[in-house]
Amino acid sequence: MSSLSLRDLSKTYGPVQAVRGVDLEVEQGEFLSLLGPSGCGKTTTLQMVAGFVPPTTGSVVVDGQDLTDIVPEKRDMGVVFQSYALFPHMSVAQNIGFGLEMRRVKGAELRKRIDETLAMVRLSGLEDRYPSQLSGGQRQRIAIARALAIRPRVLLLDEPMSNLDAKLRGEMHVELRALQRRLGITAILVTHDQVEAMTMSDRIAVMTNGGIAQLGSPQELYDRPTTEFAAKFLGHTNVLTGQIASWRDGAAVIRVGSSSFSAPTEQSGVGSEIKVFVRPERLRIGPGDEATVAGRVSTRLFLGGLWIYEVDTDVGTLRVTTQNLGTTQPQEGDAVGVSWHAEDLRVIAPEVTHG
């Protein structure tokens, strides 16, 4: 197991700053995801860790050793790519053994390591097949096996499941996470898939504009976002824009449209604009005269275990998610009320933009 430190890591391409001063500590045996949209800097960060891209500033340190100027093949890192990058003319055994042979592992030891790694990913008996004879899930596991065969200090995963169908992707999330825990290997995953990041990670670094918008456990980021970008990118959220009308018992009284409600906030200043975020599953639908805001159902979707509603109100259109308990549900066009608990509202500071 290894610890990894990124210290003031930056990458500039001409006038474009792809990564901005990233500082990150990854603990031994931790699974950390770099999550964000295309162009946010997550892949460039991973490539700098792997040694494929030299940083403009900063350093990459593993177990106290500065690897910044070390070539990729000397870093003892396993990398799994989006395309798997298997050699089509090589058998499964030859693909897995390639990195070992580069490290001068030969003979019985080479065979033993290949067999051990195949068993690890539950593909024993396929060593003589070629990539074209394997399913997408099997190819992905062979790519993981090849990365693990060298017994890397850190495992780097560059969107390795993006080419799989949804069902297989979900299964591989569970398999890879279980394997990583069993081996105790430090892993960094690059992904734009929120479900993938939340399913697999000990912590998530949500990235935007080349920097980290927020770092924390999946539950921390989902339940207690500290930036507007993190709140919007990780799962769906409702955004209400209003003003601080007054203060009452240490909480701000916020007016949105014709409605007023309390929410905790560190912002001050009566009359200042404020944004309030609330997750769809924290909202409740009920009779209009017993709710915080009244509205009308514009859209209703059935997802098996869930009902999703879009409710038009005077504070905007709110998305509400409720469990399917087999009871009668409001229809499209029905007048309803939407309510919530004050502690479920999140007031987030305005975004800081880079010039």
User: Rounded mean pLDDT of 270-281?
Assistant: 86
Pair 160, 16 in one domain: yes
Is 354 part of any domain? no
pTM confidence score: 0.85
Q: Are residues 199 and 277 in the same domain?
A: no
pLDDT number for residue 21:
94
CA distance 215 to 188: 14
268 pLDDT higher than 70: no
pLDDT of 207 above 70: yes
Q: What is the mean pLDDT of residues 111-138?
A: 86
Give alpha helix (H) positions in the chain.
Answer: 42-50, 92-102, 107-120, 136-149, 166-183, 194-200, 218-223, 228-233
The range of the structural domain enclosing residue 203 comes to 4-233
Instruction: Provide the number of structural domains found in the chain.
Output: 2
Q: Is the pLDDT of residue 103 over 90?
A: no
Helix (H), strand (E) at residue 215:
strand 211-216
- Of the candidates 340, 322, 333, 321, which has an alpha carbon nearest to the alpha carbon of residue 240? 340
Instruction: Write the DSSP symbol of residue 124.
Output: T
Q: Which residues contact 111 (CB under 8 A, 6 or more apart)?
A: none
Q: Is residue 95 part of a domain?
A: yes
Q: Between β-strands 346-347 and 335-339, what pairing exists: parallel, antiparallel or unpaired?
A: unpaired
Q: What CATH number does the domain containing 186 carry?
A: 3.40.50.300
Q: Is residue 118 a part of any domain in this protein? A: yes
Same domain flag for 227 and 299: no
* 287, 189: one domain: no
User: What is the pLDDT, as a whole number, of residue 350?
Assistant: 58
**pLDDT score of 267 more than 80:** no
Mean pLDDT over all residues of the chain?
A: 88
Stretch 97-116: mean pLDDT: 85
Domain assignment present for residue 28? The answer is yes
* 156 & 171 share domain: yes
Residues 6+ apart with CB under 8 A from 104: none
More confident residue, 260 or 170: 170
Q: Is residue 355 domain-resident? A: no
Residue 352 lies in a domain: no
| Total count of residues recorded for the chain | 355
CA atoms within 13 A on the CB side of 37: 7
Q: Which residues pair with 66 in a beta bridge?
A: 61
Instruction: Classify residue 317: in a domain, yes or no.
Output: yes
- Residue 278 belongs to some domain of the structure: yes
